[in-house]
Amino acid sequence: MSTGLAYDTFGTPRPDTYFQASETKAPVVSERFDSKAQLDLRLK
């Protein structure tokens, strides 16, 4: 099984979709229960 097939089968995002091209490090989330909203703001 190739890695790409596992991403497609389980519906998980591929590693290159976690970060935008201009970013060099992972985003820092400061609020545990508001993390999705913080990440959504980053993508806008």
Distance (Å) of CA 39 to CA 5, 20, 28, 33, 43: 26, 12, 9, 12, 7
Q: Flag whether pLDDT at 37 surpasses 80.
A: yes
pTM: 0.40
34 vs 10: CA distance, rounded Å: 25
**pLDDT classification of 2: cutoffs 50, 70, 90:** low
List pLDDT tens digits, range 3-34. Answer: 667 767 777 766 666 666 676 677 778 888 88
Concatenated DSSP letters for 1-44? Answer: --HHHHHHHHTPPPGGGTS-TT--SPPPP--GGGHHHHHHHHH-
Domain boundaries, the chain: 3-43
